[in-house]
């Protein structure tokens, strides 16, 4: 006859083994998810082969702004309608080209604003507003617009009208670092 203590130890051992296997599975899947969420050198150099992402302002290093997507063609282009609309919150210059990675659209607006949007439905994921110094708009030649972001690794990079380059966390928009690269008053 097996004592109740041995039965309890066997049950505990089985639970520990199951928890260990589960933790390995979770860690493995987190690593896969993290690997898929970062933009790599290889992804950038082969961007023209990936129609699901638009990783650079011009789409790829050739700068041709061409996508291999085939859903839009001569026979249906006249029937296109907006799927969603998102207000950038300002009427000033909007000179940006969005970049898209894994279903998230990163776009800038004038006055130091950067947004991450769900590319499928336009829902805002996060927003970042860079605090601009007084008078910066008066120094700008062509309004206080922005040309867009760059993405690499797990970061979104944005240049601001007051001569900063800011690295943002791709997932939540938090500032990783903010470097001044020049004197905006002399620009």
77 within domain boundaries: no
Query: Which residues does 163 contact at the CB level (< 8 Å), separation at least 6?
Result: 180, 181, 182, 183, 184, 187
User: How distant, in Å, are the alpha carbons of 51, 56, 137, 148, 156 from that of 48?
Assistant: 7, 10, 37, 19, 20
pTM for the full predicted model: 0.76
CATH number for the domain harbouring residue 162: 2.40.128.630
Q: How confident is the model over 51-78, as pLDDT tens digits?
A: 889 998 888 888 888 888 888 899 999 9
DSSP state of 136: H
Is the CB of residue 160 less than 8 Å from the CB of residue 132?
yes
69 within domain boundaries: no
CA angle at residue 15 from 11 to 18, to 5 degrees?
Answer: 140
- For residue 47, the enclosing domain spans 41-64+86-186
**Residues of the chain predicted below pLDDT 70:** 1-3, 7-9, 11-36, 141-142, 187
Residues 47, 13 within the same domain: no
- Return the half-sphere exposure (C-beta side, CA atoms, 13 A cut-off) of residue 80: 10
134 Cα distance to chain centroid = 29
Domain count, the chain: 2
For residue 20, what pLDDT is reported? 53
73 within domain boundaries: no
- Element counts in the chain: helices (H) and strands (E): 3, 8
At which residue do the structure tokens 């499928």 appear? Answer: 120
Residues 131, 169 within the same domain: yes
Radius of gyration, CA atoms only, the chain: 24
Handedness of CA 136, 140, 143, 146 (dihedral sign): negative
* Cα separation, 184 vs 187, whole angstroms: 5
72 within domain boundaries: no
User: How distant, in Å, are the alpha carbons of 1, 61, 79, 118, 147 from that of 96?
Assistant: 77, 18, 25, 17, 4
Residues 59, 29 within the same domain: no
Residues 119, 177 within the same domain: yes
For residue 55, what pLDDT is reported? 92
158 Cα distance to chain centroid = 11
Residues 145, 175 within the same domain: yes
């Amino acid at each position: 006859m097996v004592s109740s203590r041995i039965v309890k130890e066997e049950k505990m051992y089985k639970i520990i083994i199951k928890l260990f296997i589960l933790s390995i599975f979770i860690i493995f899947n987190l690593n896969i998810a993290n690997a898929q969420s970062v933009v790599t050198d290889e992804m950038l150099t082969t961007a023209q082969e990936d129609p699901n992402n638009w990783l650079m302002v011009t789409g790829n290093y050739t700068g041709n702004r061409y996508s291999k997507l085939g859903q839009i063609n001569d026979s249906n282009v006249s029937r296109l309608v907006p799927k969603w609309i998102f207000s950038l919150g300002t009427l000033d210059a909007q000179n940006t080209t969005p970049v898209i990675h894994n279903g998230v659209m990163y776009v800038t607006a004038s006055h130091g604003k950067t947004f991450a949007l769900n590319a499928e439905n336009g829902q805002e994921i996060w927003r970042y507003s860079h605090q601009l110094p007084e008078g910066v708009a008066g120094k700008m030649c062509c309004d206080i617009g922005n040309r867009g972001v760059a993405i690499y690794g797990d970061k979104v990079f944005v240049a601001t009208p007051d001569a900063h380059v800011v690295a943002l966390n791709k997932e939540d928009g938090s500032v990783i670092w903010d470097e001044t690269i020049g004197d905006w008053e002399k620009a």
